[in-house]
Amino acid sequence: MSAEKIKEKSYRFALVADIHIDLEKNGENTYFIYAEENFRQLLQAAKKYGCEFIISAGDQVTNATGAVEEWKRYREIIRDSGYQGLIFEALGNHELRYAKYGGCSVRECVDEFIQYTELSEKPVIRENGKPYYEYIHPLFGDSYLFMAIENGYDVNSLDNFSDEQMDWAESAIAKRTAQGRRIFLIQHSPLYGFGAGDDRENPAYLGSIRTQDAAGNIFPNNLRFRKLLETYKDIIWASGHTHLRFEDEKNYSDDSGNSCRMFHIPALSGTTRLTYDSDGKRTLDRAFREDEAQGYIVDVYEDKAVFSGVNFFRDELYPLYTYTIKR
């Protein structure tokens, strides 16, 4: 196919995070009360707008008292929607949450993620048994790398990535960069005080990935991850986790040209907003609004990618939160 023909073509996908299907305590005290309806709205929008696939950047389930029934509901909603495209999920911290309470092991939570996302049936490249993987777009050859918070729920108190995962990520990014491929990196949690998704000067969300603990001990693989973002500036990185809404205008950064292009995806299940507590400290308002199911529709061309902010609940575009990333 000639370069001119390729340039005429494009593809489209939906980009969301924090779906949070929630069946805590068999329906009692459900926290993310709008999750299922907002997920249904996303799937209908993906059909309406001709999305080739959907990317979910982690926390598909809430997993306070076991994730299996939530995963089953997740799959049921997809099946009933009639959406026929691919869905690619990243492993977030909530997929591992029940292990924190001793209900299962971290490995069992990872295995549930692999099973119920039907990862082994998707056209991806991955090592056997691993929750991180790569999808290569069949027309443009764009690389989508899905990393996984694989070591536990409390992401701010541990090294989130194994040696093997960081070896894989560094190798894959170096290889695809040398091949001239565009790279989209999907990784659930942002770094504390870095990138998009929070107030960088005075972070409101304490539960983001740290490169060191309170005593100054380095988390080496978290630091390796940050160095990847600073080394390969052409990467487009998308994360979720803080749920911060578009209107707080913390959803894009390239660290003044010192890092890759970093997008925050607000939340499908309901957004948070920056505010101050009674002591004047920066914090997040977690009163989730039903009508704020925010994410992106992304149109990818040979020479650019256009990220259009969307409220999937209201089926409404946000022109103020639309970004064009040139290749």
Residue 291 has pLDDT above 90, yes or no: no
pLDDT band at 5 (very low <50, low <70, confident <90, very high): very low
pLDDT band at 28 (very low <50, low <70, confident <90, very high): low
- Per residue in 140-168, pLDDT (tens digit) is 999 999 999 999 999 999 999 999 999 99
SS3 56: strand
CATH code (residue 249): 3.60.21.10
Give the H or E element holding residue 110: helix 106-116
DSSP per residue, 294-314: EEEEEEEESSEEEEEEEETTT
Would 1 be classed as within a structural domain? Answer: no
Would 3 be classed as within a structural domain? Answer: no
Number of domains the chain is built from: 1
Mean pLDDT of the chain: 94
Tokens at 287, concatenated? 């009163």
Would 297 be classed as within a structural domain? Answer: yes
Segments forming the whole domain that contains residue 62? 10-326
DSSP state of 257: G
Would 174 be classed as within a structural domain? Answer: yes
DSSP state of 50: T
